[in-house]
């Protein structure tokens, strides 16, 4: 089943190449969506794909070398039509 989630990652998540690695991981898991840095030091994403792929991707984000995700907020979103994952 296709699902879409808005994620906000807190902790040591900026200045470590997380956005680039988030995009590479999304391509690996065949997900669409976007990622961006927030002014408060958090990273925000919207990610869309099959349930199992999204779950695996979230685990991938939590275990990125150099990152220290201390909090992850997740909120389900409506599925939309899109064809790629991009860095904003």
From the candidates 19, 59, 68, 86, which is the catalytic residue? 19
Count CA atoms closer than 13 A to 4's CA, side-chain side: 11
- Verify whether residue 19 is a known catalytic residue: yes
Q: Is the dihedral of CA 41, 2, 20, 86 positive or negative?
A: negative
Distant-in-sequence, close-in-space partners of 20: CB < 8 Å, separation ≥ 6:
87
Is 4 among the catalytic positions? Answer: no
**Which of these is catalytic: 6, 21, 36, 37?**
37
Q: Which positions are catalytic?
A: 19, 37
């Amino acid at each position: 089943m296709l699902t879409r989630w808005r994620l906000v990652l807190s902790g040591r998540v900026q200045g470590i190449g997380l956005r680039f690695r988030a995009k590479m991981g999304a391509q690996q898991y065949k997900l669409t969506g976007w990622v961006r840095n927030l002014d408060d030091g958090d990273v925000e994403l919207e990610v869309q794909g099959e349930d199992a792929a999204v779950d695996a991707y979230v685990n991938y984000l939590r275990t990125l070398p150099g990152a220290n995700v201390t909090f992850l907020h997740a909120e389900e979103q409506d599925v939309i039509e899109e064809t790629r994952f991009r860095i904003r």
